[in-house]
Amino acid sequence: MSIKLKDICKHLGGDLSGDGEIEITGVSGIKDAEPNQITFVANTKYLSAIATTQASAIIIGRGVSGNGIATICVDNPYWGFVKALELFAWNADTKPQTGIHESVIIGENVSFGEGVTIEPFSVIADNVEIGDETIIKPHVYIGPDTKIGKNGLIYSQVSIRENVTIGDNVIIHCGAVIGSDGFGFTPDPSNNSPYKIPQIGTVVIEDNVEIGANTTIDRATIAETLIKSGTKLDNLVQIAHNVVIGKDCCLAAQSGMAGSSTLGDRVNIAGQSGVVGHLSVGENSVLFAKSAITKDTPPNSQLSGFPARPHKQELRFQAANRKLPELMRGFKQLQEKVVELEEKLKAIEHTEN
């Protein structure tokens, strides 16, 4: 695959300097780029690499020289890099083979939109609706009464349980499980053993959501677990029952939301972090890595630590903790001096008596 530089420039909406007829075959980092590839400089520390790069073209910011190499000048070079990647990314929608493979098992009263692709050995249960241009890769299970919107992409080994609603433009990566039972148990009065609470609610995933590999989203006990539009979930994320995640949130790998917790819009949660059940996190908040929220959090918070506290405060705690060994040594020395002074004082008192 190759694209003329002038066509890439048009896609980026930038200003071209140099030969627009150059055939570009891919995108690469500035140090690894080869001839006929395009690269970018978004950080000033890489400006010196322009002199040595093998790339045939560079995406640069305003006022930056390409050192004789063809350039596309844009306001935001990193965003330009992202848009260039779109042109060269593998796109499942362009695959020549479309339609429903003969090995697919299809239940009763199933509705398919136009241009739907379902690849081998998938199972589509009764009363399922799948919107236009949605692609379902091999070995996917879609349970009864589930609705999937338009332009979706569902990768292999995904399991979507019964009565789940998924919006348009949703991407679900390999091994994800949507609509598994929530972890709900109560003590059995007869023997105090855990007794399963039926999980009869649902999961609703709005438009433009992306769900990472092996992520799990549990169905609600009686209502709905809700992932609002634009939210992105990394691999290995756990969303428990009755959770509500706001618009345009980002949850990194191995983070988790306990039951009935709520995130406001545009909340970012870093890896291996979590939110205790029945708590709310205000919009535009950030939870740093390996942290846990243990109380309700106002909007625009930046939190870290366990339990999570304001990030600047946590940094001061960490700085103080690093000084503890030194402080303990000093404290021990003071104790020894106090004991020494007490012994001298006793000796003086004994002499005077």
DSSP state string for 99-132? EE-TT-EE-SS-EE-TT-EE-TT-EE-TT-EE-T
* Residues 160 and 283 both lie in one domain: yes
Contact in structure between 58 and 69 (CB atoms under 8 Å):
yes
What is the structure's pLDDT at 95? Answer: 52
The domain tally of the chain equals 2
Grouping H, G, I as helix, E, B as strand and the rest as coil, residue 6 is: helix
Task: Please report whether residue 59 resides in a domain.
Answer: yes
Domain contains 331? no
Measure the CA–CA gap between 154 and 160, rounded to whole angstroms. 10
Residue ending a domain, among 89, 122, 140, is 89
Residues 322, 324, 327, 328, CA torsion sign? negative
CATH number where 270 lies: 2.160.10.10
Structural domain span for residue 84: 3-89
Same structural domain for residues 155 and 202?
yes
**In this structure, are 46 and 101 located in the same domain?**
no
Task: Kindly state whether residues 218 and 115 are assigned to the same domain.
Answer: yes
Shared domain for 24 and 169, answered yes or no, is no
Residue in 11, 101, 241, 311 annotated catalytic = 241
Q: Are residues 150 and 275 in the same domain?
A: yes
Instruction: Give the whole-angstrom CA distance, residue 62 versus residue 17.
Output: 12
Residues 68 and 139 in one domain: no
Same domain, 149 and 14: no
Residue 90 confidence (pLDDT): 65
Are 77 and 59 within 8 A, CB to CB?
yes
pLDDT value at position 96? 44
Among residues 89, 105, 127, the one where a domain terminates is 89
How high is the pLDDT of residue 313?
Answer: 75
State the Cα–Cα distance between residues 343 and 278, nearest whole angstrom.
58
352 domain-assigned:
no
In a domain, 256, yes or no: yes
- The verdict on whether 241 is a catalytic residue reads yes
155 shares its domain with 11: no
- C-alpha 144/C-alpha 164 separation (Å) is 9
Asked if the structure places residue 209 within a domain, the reply is yes
User: Is position 317 within any domain?
Assistant: no
* pLDDT value of position 132: 95
* 79 and 109 co-located in one domain: no
Judge whether 325 lies within some domain.
Answer: no
d(C-alpha 268, C-alpha 271), whole Å: 10
Are 126 and 83 contained in the same domain? no
Residue 335 placed within a domain: no
Cβ–Cβ contacts within 10 Å for residue 63, how many?
6
Residue 91: its pLDDT value, please? 53
Q: Are residues 78 and 130 in the same domain?
A: no
Please state, as a whole number, how many other Cβ atoms lie within 10 Å of the Cβ of residue 120.
13
Instruction: Tell me the pLDDT of the chain (353 aa) as tens digits.
Output: 789 999 999 999 999 999 999 999 999 999 999 999 999 999 888 899 999 999 999 999 988 888 899 999 999 999 999 999 989 886 544 554 679 999 999 999 999 999 999 999 999 999 999 999 999 999 999 999 999 999 999 999 999 999 999 999 999 999 999 999 999 999 999 999 999 999 999 999 999 999 999 999 999 999 999 999 999 999 999 999 999 999 999 999 999 999 999 999 999 999 999 999 999 999 999 999 999 999 999 999 999 888 888 777 777 777 777 878 888 888 888 888 888 888 888 888 777 76
Dihedral angle at the C-alpha atoms of 130, 135, 138, 144, nearest 10 degrees? -10
From 50, 67, 89, give the residue that closes a domain. Answer: 89
Q: Read off the CATH number of the domain in which 18 is found.
A: 3.40.1390.10
